[in-house]
Amino acid sequence: MQIGALDALLISVIGIAIVFAVLMILMGVIMLMGLIADKSPAIAAKLPKFKFGKKKKAAEDTAAPAETSDAQPAVGTCGELLLVNTEERDAAMIMAIVADTLDTPLNELRFKTIRRVD
C-alpha cells in the first residue's frame, strides 16, 4: 500500500497541528499557575524555595587558621580570577551581589572570569 503525496501532506499537517495544540495547552497551564501564584501569596509562600550553591559547612570546617605564613591563599579561595574589560571595583560588586542573591558566603563561590558585555 502506497501513500500519495496528498495523503502524506495531510498526515504531516495533522501531526504538526497536534504538536501545536499540546504546546498551547501547556502554555495555558503554565500561565494559570502563574496567575494562581500571583493572586494568592499564601500558596506562593508554601511553594519550596530553591537555593543554589553549596550547603553551608560546619563552623569547624570554615574556620581560618590563626596564622598564615608565606602568602598562602585564604581558606576557601579557588585560584585566579580573570577580569575582561572590567574594573576591580565592578567585579567586587558583582561578586557581592551574586553571593547575596545565592545566600552563600563569598569564600564558598568560585568565579573564573568576569567579562563586561557592552
3-class state of residue 96 by DSSP: helix
**Which residues fall within 8 angstroms of residue 90, CB to CB, at 6 or more apart?**
114, 116
Whole-number Å distance between alpha carbons of 106 and 6: 63
pLDDT of 98 > 80? The answer is yes
What percent of the chain clears pLDDT 70, i.e. is strictly above it? Answer: 67
The grid coordinates listed for 94 are 558583582
Q: What is the CA radius of gyration of the chain?
A: 26
pLDDT: which is higher, 43 or 1: 1
Give the pLDDT of residue 108. Answer: 82
pTM of the model: 0.36
Q: What is the reported pLDDT for 109?
A: 84
The identity of residue 91, as a single letter, is A
Confidence of residue 111 (pLDDT cuts 50, 70, 90): confident
Which helix (H) or strand (E) segment is 65 a member of? none
Mean pLDDT of the chain: 78
Report whether pLDDT(68) > 90: no
Of 6-15, 68-77, 105-114, the poorest mean pLDDT is in 68-77
What pLDDT score was predicted for residue 23?
Answer: 98
37 within 8 A of 43, measured Cβ to Cβ: yes
CA angle, 90 as apex, 87 and 95 as ends, to 5°?
A: 125
Q: Minimal CA–CA distance to 94: which of 117, 118, 114?
A: 114
